[in-house]
Amino acid sequence: MNKVIGLQEAVDKIKDGDVIMVGGFLACGSPLKLIDALVESGKKDLTLICNDTGYVDRGVGKMVVAKQFKKIIASHVGTNRETGNQMNSGETEVLLTPQGTLAEQVRAGGSGLGGVLTRTGFGTLVQEGKQIVEVDGVEWILEKPLRADVALLYGTKVDKKGNIYYEGSTQNFNILMAAAADTVIVEAEEIVEVGEIDPNIVRTPGIFVSYIVQGDKL
């Protein structure tokens, strides 16, 4: 199977109303070319699962400005004033989640787990409406797993089978999200032949990757 596809074909894999996961940490390690193409596409009513909402002019923040999300699940939105505006007006539902909890919810979604137990946020607004589980006399918040219809990732070097190498901190949420979506599209800074990446530095095996698109050099 040839996993390398064009940018427009990749965008066409995403439907209005889909849940999407997007890798990155303040746009570092985010698939910027795919995001720009999605802004141009006008896709709407999407649910975003991401560490943050980037900036108004970079990363998924551009999609926030374009009002393409009906719901956002993230750990931080302070660098994008438009997210706060939409949250305060009620235009977009924003669910703020502690970063470690968010990471574990995505990991649980990719691992087939029923959820994770945490004390983070216990006794605060984070706890409201959630199931409490007692283990050995200690109460924990049950955080349910997160999965997506499509995950959009970034890879520094990707071979044609989809094996991914990430440079430095760009790996962030990309690795977790690769296992937690039905369709996984990676934007590659560089696409190489199979065998050109040292297996010891592959962080995401190609079995998790559905499609590859050529990105821009960062």
Domains of the chain: 7-114+145-214 (3.40.1080.10)
The confidence score (pLDDT) of residue 171 equals 94
Tens digit of each residue's pLDDT, the chain (218 residues): 899 999 999 999 999 999 999 999 999 999 999 999 999 999 999 999 999 999 999 999 999 999 999 999 999 999 999 999 999 999 999 999 999 999 999 999 999 999 999 999 999 988 999 999 999 999 999 999 999 999 999 999 999 999 999 999 999 999 999 999 999 999 999 999 999 999 999 999 999 999 999 987 65
The confidence score (pLDDT) of residue 216 equals 76
The confidence score (pLDDT) of residue 147 equals 98
Residue type, 168: G
Tokens encoding 86:
């939409």
The confidence score (pLDDT) of residue 141 equals 97
The confidence score (pLDDT) of residue 7 equals 95
Contact between residue 53 and residue 68 where contact means Cβ atoms under 8 Å apart:
no
